[in-house]
Chain A
Amino acid sequence: MTSRRLFDKIQGITISHVTKTYGSIYAVRDVSLDVIGGELLVLIGPSGSGKTTTLRMVNRLIEPDEGSISIDGQDIRGHDPVTLRRNMGYVIQQIGLFPHMSVRENIGLIPRLEGWTRDDINARVDELLSLVALPPEVFSGRYPQELSGGQQQRVGLARALAMDPPILLMDEPFGALDPILRMQLQDEFAKIKEELGKTILFVTHDIEESFKLGDRIAIMRDASLDQVGTAYELIFHPESAFVADIVDANKKYKHVDTMCVGDVAYALDDDHLLDGRMDSKDALSSMHEHDIEVALAVEGGEIIGLVNALSLYRDAQGRLRDHAFEPLIFDANDSLPAALSEMKAHGIPMAVVTSRDGQPTGIISMNETLLRLV
């Protein structure tokens, strides 16, 4: 039996008002959630909050009582469950490798059931083992019992990727590993994730893990969805005390590792752009008028440099361009700690933040950033 390939790269998964009850208990209650194609969306919450149930409804291991789930606008109930699952990878915390099959047979089982040739299967297994950093010549003949926990979970991931599914469902995949190994696998997975470009739904109860891996995070509580957003949105704009508590919003500095420059930059508007040829005094009064501390001196669309209200105030002579200092420039997606340490190394407390096409979009101030983190 060969299963139809249902989708290559998906636009998105739409979970719409799904409810699942067991007896009188709600496992999931009216949850609506959009997973954007290509993103890793984390479902996080305490145990019993409904995150695993939500995940398992996407591959029809659990059928919702109410509501619907669709992929690229097609209701998943229109697909045969087996075909649907072969178009999605599935990784669970307990891994569930087949004990009587070698690593090669474990990974190659679904391709074999799909009627691949032995050569194709072997080539695919070797490729996947290399991807998860297990040399095929060493590991393909081993049995699950002969692998460490971390190695088993790598095989579990390789097995889920066998059919190159556009969607991956991962249920606390690193939850059973010791903390050091977990961090290592998270780092490896973060890299693999970039290579794969898959749409991933990822369940965890570890907030650090969700900040590290998630493009967006959905927080669940008592079978319902509390808030969905980026790490930055959840930390700086938690909508409830529960969310603030989960993301540890009062200790934002803890999350500095996972933040990027764009998260803490001030947006630039026209008031911040001053012509470098204007008189320093005029520039200073303009800045006072708009109550801004830092501005960008520009000439003909070119950034001349940053100017600081305080230094202008001390010595408002000549043209603005004479007071401009060459700024550091960061991309909005650059890592925040790296940017902060570079600013510190250069002794420059301000930097310009640009979008991908090089347009200045914001200013980042070291002091302000540190103040916002505590």
Chain B
Amino acid sequence: MVPVDTLTNATIQHLTLTYGALFFSVVTAIPLAILSLFSKRLSNAVLTLANLLQAIPSFAVVAIVVPLLGIGFTPAVIAIVVRALLPIIKNTYIGLKDIDASAVSSARGLGLTEWQIIRYIRLPHSYPAMFAGMKFAAILANSIAILTAIIGSGGLGSVIFSGLSNLNTDKIIAGSLPTIGIAIFIDVSFTLLERVITPRTHS
């Protein structure tokens, strides 16, 4: 058996890691996506880099931060952010960009400022894509937060890895079940959030 407080601490650590990394990913990705609208060069650079990072296996990303940043919680957060950025940037950028050009040109012609066009026209239009990206990023973060136990992030991953190394089934299950539960919670909560925030297009 795994002591309850050990498991509770590990779960809290895991959630902090997952949602902390997700938070940093969102606050980095959305401004980058918006800025990319203004510069073709920036959008190319951002999207190419993000695509490249996406292609690297998660485990390799986790490994590579060790020689660069050492071990512990912060390097783990950075490893997750690196992997979680792309789906948010890419989806947000597509959501912002992929709007009927006539809506933007009529908005400009009616006298909306460039910022107001983003705020009132492009952003609301991008919400469904943006939330799909955030949901995917959250699920990714949840999985990678298990792997980062290897580089000393703590959390549910530590419980699982320690269970695996001793073939301790109780430990493996005690670590895995909350992870699965969190994954389901992420999926459901983001779906609901998306439904509430996305503007309607039908009466």
Contacts and interface: CB of A to CB of B under 8 A. Distances in A.
Which of B101, B104, B105, B200 gathers most chain A CB within 10 Å? Answer: B105
B102 A96 contact: yes
Interface in A92-130: 92, 94-102, 109-110, 113
Most buried by B among A83, A100, A144, A159: A100
Interface string B78-111: 0000000000000000000000111111111111
B201 interface: yes
B96 to A, nearest CB: 13
A306 B102 CA distance: 59
Contacts of A90: 106, 109-110
A99 B105 contact: no
A85 interface: yes
Interface string A40-72: 000000000000000010010100000000000
A266 interface: no
A97 B199 CA distance: 15
B36 to A, nearest CB: 21
B102 A100 contact: no
A96 B201 contact: no
B121 interface: yes
Given A109-B120, A145-B201, A146-B202, A99 B103 contact: yes
17 contacts: A56-B109, A82-B111, A84-B111, A92-B106, A95-B102, A96-B102, A96-B103, A96-B105, A96-B106, A97-B106, A98-B107, A99-B125, A100-B201, A113-B116, A141-B203, A145-B201, A160-B110
B28 to A, nearest CB: 26
B203 A95 contact: no
Nearest to B106: A96
Given A92-B102, A96-B100, A99-B103, A143 B109 contact: no
Nearest to A87: B111
Interface of B: 100-113, 116, 120-121, 124-125, 199-203
A92 B110 CA distance: 11
Q: Which of A56, A99, A142 lies at the interface centre, i.e. has the most chain B CB atoms within 10 A of its CB?
A: A99
Given A99-B125, A109-B110, 14 more contacts: A84-B111, A90-B110, A94-B101, A94-B102, A96-B102, A96-B103, A97-B103, A98-B103, A98-B120, A99-B103, A100-B201, A141-B203, A142-B203, A144-B201
A90 B106 CA distance: 7
Interface residues of A, number: 34
Contacts of B202: 143, 145-146
A74 interface: no
A245 B108 CA distance: 36
Contacts of B100: 94, 96, 99
A276 interface: no
Given A143-B202, A146-B202, A86 B111 contact: yes
A156 interface: yes
A21 interface: no
A141 B203 CA distance: 6
Given A61-B108, A110-B110, A100 B200 contact: yes
Given A94-B102, A96-B100, A143-B202, A159 B110 contact: yes
Contacts of A145: 201-202
B2 to A, nearest CB: 48
A341 interface: no
A86 B109 CA distance: 8
Given A96-B103, A96-B105, A143 B203 contact: yes
Contacts of B106: 90, 92, 94-97, 156
A250 interface: no
A240 interface: no
A109 B103 CA distance: 13
A143 B116 contact: no
Nearest to A55: B109
A-B interface, 4 closest residue pairs, ranked by CB to CB distance from nearest: A96-B106, A94-B102, A85-B111, A90-B109
